[in-house]
Chain A
Amino acid sequence: MKDKNKIQKIPFILIGFFLALWMIGLAVGEPTRVLEQAKSICLSCIGIG
């Protein structure tokens, strides 16, 4: 029978993995690039140009 009180570990492993990815991105300075992109109007993104 399924143990209803068992804590699922997979979500924590996944969160940890993606947190590590996020931190790698942070370490290489990717947020600066993301911010640059987000601050400018992406004309081709909105079907112009």
Chain B
Amino acid sequence: MQSIRKWVQAIWIFLINGYWAFPFTGNMYQGPLKVICSPGLNCYSCPAATTYCPLGSLQQLLGGIRYSLQSGQYYIGTFVVGWMGILGATFGRFICGWACPFGLFQELLHKIPSKKYSIPKAFNWGKYLFLLFFVIILPLVIVDQFGLGAPWFCKYICPAGTLEAGIPMVLLMPDLRSTLGMLYVNKIMILLGFTIWSVFASRPFCRTTCPLGAFYALFNRFSLIQLQLDEDACTNCKACHEVCPVEIRFNETPGSNECINCMKCASDACRFDAIHLAIAGHRLGTAKKKPTIVPT
């Protein structure tokens, strides 16, 4: 199952970053596919990006909301939030575990042999604060002399944007190099910080900072496709606790907001078939027979 997941992650990277002519054209993809929402965090200023980033787009729309309304256009983000909500309500955080390029980047870094550390649970709240303040409130409230807000999360935080767009664009367009300043240095330092942190802890950005993960997390308990626990089959052996990359105890908190639905617990840990996929509450596939204990 985990090798299938790696393949799915790789396919998603190529689907949403499918414009490989950029080294020859010297520019990014500008075709009509960019009206499609990328499910995972993938910067639309990446030269290969073929879809738009929901977070970037939402911040831009909220930042320009005054201008839009004054000019009689009702661009208030319903199209983007609609996309995000449909994805979230259908898949929950399966997207984080199966379709996010920056998630895969962190997973690969975590494979580098080193001592591994856990992340304090309190840090998990950080992503909700980033969603609320950096994606919604600050772009809406703090505006320049023209009434335009900035995309705060993209501008000051997003390490995925730096990795996928900031660095490649500077390499691709030498003219941009003269405009680099402290903002760029700040973003490189944040990327570097998360890169190093990912070696020692599992998916630190997803767990502490990602506003898109925070949005999808709100749906984890209610999404159409879910990982479910069969309480009758669970023996509370705690094997699922050991393998979880985001350190949740699945059998104690099924549907946890933190679960990225990577299914490692179902495929690599649970011997009792207690964790399974469900669509609208209906189990996918049939339950295996529960192992019986034979008295000796």
Contacts and interface: CB of A to CB of B under 8 A. Distances in A.
Contacts of B240: none
B154 A30 contact: no
B89 A28 contact: no
A10 B80 contact: no
Contacts of B83: 18, 22
A14 B91 CA distance: 12
Given A18-B85, A18-B86, A29-B73, A46 B43 contact: yes
A49 B166 CA distance: 11
B179 A48 contact: yes
B82 A41 contact: no
Contacts of B155: 44-45, 47
A20 B86 CA distance: 10
A34 to B, nearest CB: 5
Tell which of B45, B49, B282 has the most Cβ of chain A within 10 Å.
B45
B196 interface: no
A47 B83 CA distance: 26
Given A24-B78, A30-B79, A33-B75, A46 B45 contact: yes
Contacts of A28: 73-75, 78
Contact of B85 (A4, A17, A33): A17
A10 B296 CA distance: 48
Q: Is the interface of A mostly helix, strand, loop or mixed?
A: helix
A35 B34 contact: yes
Given A18-B82, A41-B28, A7 B282 contact: yes
Interface stretch (B117-125, B181-189, B246-254): B181-189
B79 A25 contact: yes
B97 interface: no
A44 B166 CA distance: 10
B90 A46 contact: no
B207 to A, nearest CB: 23
Given A28-B78, A34-B52, A47-B184, A11 B223 contact: yes
A10 B281 CA distance: 10
A26 B281 CA distance: 31
Contacts of B89: 11, 14-15, 18
A39 to B, nearest CB: 4
Given A11-B222, A25-B80, A47 B186 contact: yes
Given A11-B280, A24-B82, A47-B187, A42 B73 contact: no
Nearest to B32: A35
Interface stretch (B56-64, B105-113, B129-137): B56-64
B45 A42 contact: yes
Contact of B78 (A4, A14, A21, A42): A21
B141 interface: no
Interface of A: 4-8, 10-12, 14-15, 17-26, 28-31, 33-35, 37-39, 41-49
Among all A-B residue pairs, the 10 with the closest Cβ atoms: A25-B79, A22-B82, A18-B85, A47-B187, A14-B89, A21-B82, A30-B79, A45-B154, A11-B224, A25-B78
Given A23-B82, A34-B52, 11 more contacts: A11-B280, A12-B224, A18-B83, A21-B79, A29-B75, A38-B35, A41-B28, A42-B44, A42-B45, A42-B151, A46-B43
